[in-house]
A and B are shown apart, each in its own frame.
Chain A
């Protein structure tokens, strides 16, 4: 598996190898050249010393060793060999220790020192410096011989230089090898140590499950690079916890909505069968009520499923909203009267929408039903339309007593009910979820808001290209007020 640790380790090692290789490739020749140049400078100074022995005598070039310190001319510890020729190549002088000839490069020989490495017949590798030397002309007349001068070649055993070069090469190569070896152990350790917080984080993340979503990853003592990641992970955990909590709540609510009526039905029937004398008409009414409640629940779920799956075709018709609201209100008027709830409609006469009348009825029916059911007794439910050109907004508002801002986003969740115990069997918490699903299918949006913490406003809005456009203020005074 590709891991950051492995990638980091190998990349650092490869990078270090390349750097070392380049260091060797560049450093070694530079060092080599410097040492050789130093050697050559010494050789050249010896060449200059030897060259002083080349003199002019009349028209001849002579090599006068008188001033040389000894026949075994040495410079420091470096053994020195020399050989002198006239321009034509006739040997004028040579070191007594010299076996064979020194190389005589250049034709014609240059006045600039020429350096060369060669091997003497008796074995030693030598470095030679050769230069054409023209003795100083004191007189006005110089013969051609004098002008051509002599060729002086000096040589030093280069075994010491080679030894130093080899030593440098070995030192650099050895250091590089040791460095590579140390790095091979140190780099993985450093990488592992530095990435330890990542391992700890991975371990903690691995330990998170559905039951520990409330736990949070520690953010203190984290490297700067990981802190924002952990913060994001914690944010994700919060969202997951909320989502899981809602999912769990949905499961609980669903279980309650189905299991409780089945339990009621089953126990009623079992008691009737076991103690027939307890059964009367009220028992049958209760059983019928449970059946209707479950039928309603299942129908609502089926409608939501079909609409979400776009299985129901959408019709299109001009719908008079006033007429539709009156039709919807009629069957729930008795319930509203019983709760002293009144309806106020601020809708312009003739306001219409081009939409599916059945689905629009379903939306509005749920909105009004919800308002009548949950508004406090004696309240007024207000329905008003607002038109803005080719779009519309219809508001259903009613006073509420026990809703908070945090409840508003939950209103459209399936099976959500303010009372967690879900007591009561008339409503299952599907009405607003169904209304929003249907509204979406119609191309509308259904939103909720809380005004002054006392009024719940459900707003149905959307385009209305072919409906009645209201150019005048949407809410007109003197609109009919219908009170249930």
Chain B
């Protein structure tokens, strides 16, 4: 999952960015409203965490312009303003959620995860594809009762495929959701990661779950023989 964090406090950008990365998100950062709007407009994010009081362009203006562009990305507003009116204004401007500073990191991560789930039409933090179960909160995958040990990037990719079960995910889409703007993934990194996941989730006698569509991408689904 890819998250954009727009915040003018360098310390918060650093600490929240760290927390999001450690939680398995690809994180892009912006320090002012103009930069945030540019990134949000040109790139594809699952969630945008947006501070309200921003230099150059305040958060509400960023949000309104995004919505006017037709961007439906889920937005979590983050602000020191706690008045009801401020919250109402933010939500009316098109925000999906609102968090007041100071906040518990755990709560921020939970809200970001909930917004990610909502983006793919899931209400639970458990994804199931056949006998494969993925717990997006605990970052655990289990197949037929066997725990599967995945690296963070592998888990992110599997989760992304699982959220889009039955849909073909192209290599560029996977890269866009798994890597931030600063990362420059090697050309075969997605292919090798998918290969690694295939090996780890495959159990003898059980059907393969990740299928390759030549020239198109990958799809996670249960295929009946």
From 349 to 398 in chain A, residues with beta carbon under 8 angstroms from any chain B beta carbon are: none
Contact among A255, A274, A275, A278 for B81, CB-based, below 8 A: A255
Contact call A271/B18, Cβ cutoff below 8 A: yes
From 243 to 264 in chain A, residues with beta carbon under 8 angstroms from any chain B beta carbon are: 248, 251-252, 255-256, 258-260, 262-264
1/0 per residue, CB under 8 A from A, across B91-103: the answer is 0000000001111
From 261 to 298 in chain A, residues with beta carbon under 8 angstroms from any chain B beta carbon are: 262-268, 270-271, 274-275, 278, 286, 290
Give the interface size bracket for A toward B.
20 to 34
Residue from B15, B16, B53 with most neighbouring chain A CB atoms (10 Å): B15
The reply to whether the CB of B55 lies closer than 8 angstroms to some CB of chain A is yes
Q: How many A-B residue pairs have CB under 8 A?
A: 89
Give the interface size bracket for B toward A.
20 to 34
Contact call B11/A262, Cβ cutoff below 8 A: no
Known contacts A264-B9, A275-B18; is-contact A421 B53 (Cβ 8 Å): yes
Shortest distance between the CB of B96 and any CB in chain A (Å): 20
Shortest distance between the CB of A168 and any CB in chain B (Å): 74
Which residues of A have CB within 8 Å of B103?
A: 263, 266-267
Which chain A residue has the least Cβ–Cβ distance from B33? A421
1/0 per residue, CB under 8 A from A, across B57-81: the answer is 0100000000000000000000011
Which residues of B have CB within 8 Å of A265?
A: 102
Which residues of B have CB within 8 Å of A267?
A: 11-12, 15-16, 19, 102-103, 105
Contact call A420/B80, Cβ cutoff below 8 A: no
Which residues of A have CB within 8 Å of B11?
A: 264, 267-268, 286, 290, 425
Report the bound CA distance from A270 to B102 in whole Å: 12
Contact among B8, B19, B101, B105 for A259, CB-based, below 8 A: B101
Which residues of B have CB within 8 Å of A262?
A: 101-102
Contact call A264/B15, Cβ cutoff below 8 A: yes
The reply to whether the CB of A414 lies closer than 8 angstroms to some CB of chain B is no
Known contacts A263-B101, A278-B22, A423-B55; is-contact A268 B85 (Cβ 8 Å): no
Which chain A residue has the least Cβ–Cβ distance from B59? A421
Contact among B15, B80, B85 for A271, CB-based, below 8 A: B15
Which residues of A have CB within 8 Å of B14?
A: 268, 286
Contact call B105/A266, Cβ cutoff below 8 A: yes
Contact call A259/B80, Cβ cutoff below 8 A: yes
The reply to whether the CB of B54 lies closer than 8 angstroms to some CB of chain A is yes
1/0 per residue, CB under 8 A from A, across B28-65: the answer is 00001000000000000000000001111010000000
Shortest distance between the CB of A270 and any CB in chain B (Å): 4
| 16 new A-B contacts at CB < 8 Å, known A263-B9, A263-B102, A264-B12 | A248-B83, A251-B83, A255-B82, A256-B81, A260-B80, A260-B101, A262-B101, A264-B11, A266-B104, A267-B15, A267-B103, A270-B19, A274-B105, A286-B11, A421-B32, A423-B55
Which residues of B are interface residues toward A (Cβ below 8 A)? Answer: 8-9, 11-12, 14-16, 18-19, 22, 32, 53-56, 58, 80-83, 85, 100-106
Which residues of A are interface residues toward B (Cβ below 8 A)? Answer: 211, 248, 251-252, 255-256, 258-260, 262-268, 270-271, 274-275, 278, 286, 290, 419-423, 425
